[in-house]
Amino acid sequence: MTNMAERFRQVRSQIRHAAGIAGRPANSVRLLAVSKTKSAQAIAALYALGQRHFAENYLQEALEKQRQLCGYNITWHFIGPIQSNKTKAIATHFAWVHSVDRLKIAQRLSEQRPGHLPPLNICLQINISQESSKSGFSLAELPEMVEQVRLLPNLRLRGVMAIPEPETVYHRQRQPYHLLFQAVQALGRPELDSFSFGMSGDLKAAIMEGATMVRIGTALFGERSYN
């Protein structure tokens, strides 16, 4: 078995295992393959094993790979920082955007979503560890942002995304996700059904706290090099 096939098998088995412990069906957690810095060939190899959802951070890099992989039935997710001059391309070339961190960005994505496409699925990025270096809304801003963003016609507000401070201790990994999950539940809006929680290092903690999408790069593709 190739490395990639073996890693893919392991990640899916970790997801099934964590979902089982959490008392959730395995299919309630979607695996997103984070392919930033990885080639179109690497994406095609994972696709051949059955993976369909891929996530990218950098627009130009993503567009180039999408061009190379046109004809593949891939659902593309954008998870990187968003500059306002990039919103039109993002609104056009992705099915999901997880990293909406300002109201203005949401407004532009809605205005620029092409009319022939279904509404763009979005998650609000929440700066759950309140790190000054990270973007995202605070928990305190969440209720008001949900009210504003749900009115935008060409978006479908699905939930929240968080990238907590790196933490290796399992019970501490769970805390920020727990807090955010509770805050969303408290809003009482069943359409907020998506929790984009968890990366290679904290996938189990994220699933225990309600993740419906885990964003996995390293554990699937191996380490990234940025040359």
Q: Which residues bind ligand PLP (CB under 6 A)?
A: 34, 36, 57, 79, 163, 199-201, 215-219
DSSP conformational letter for 137: B
Tally Cβ neighbours within 10 Å of residue 219.
18
Kindly tell me which of 58 and 72 has the beta carbon lying closer to ligand PLP.
58
Instruction: Compute the least distance from the CB of residue 25 to ligand PLP, in Å.
Output: 23
Report CA 142 to chain centroid distance, whole Å: 18
From first CA to last CA, the distance across the chain in angstroms is 28
Instruction: Compute the least distance from the CB of residue 115 to ligand PLP, in Å.
Output: 29
Kindly tell me which of 149 and 162 has the beta carbon lying closer to ligand PLP.
162
Instruction: Compute the least distance from the CB of residue 97 to ligand PLP, in Å.
Output: 12
Kindly tell me which of 28 and 57 has the beta carbon lying closer to ligand PLP.
57
Beta-carbon contacts of residue 218 (< 8 Å; ≥ 6 apart): 199, 200, 224
Kindly tell me which of 6 and 147 has the beta carbon lying closer to ligand PLP.
6
Kindly tell me which of 57 and 154 has the beta carbon lying closer to ligand PLP.
57
How many angstroms separate the CA atoms of 84 and 77, rounded?
17
**Amino acid at the residue 143:** P
Instruction: Compute the least distance from the CB of residue 174 to ligand PLP, in Å.
Output: 17
> Would residue 210 be called left, alpha or beta, if left means φ above 0 and alpha means ψ between -120 and 50 degrees?
left
Instruction: Compute the least distance from the CB of residue 125 to ligand PLP, in Å.
Output: 9
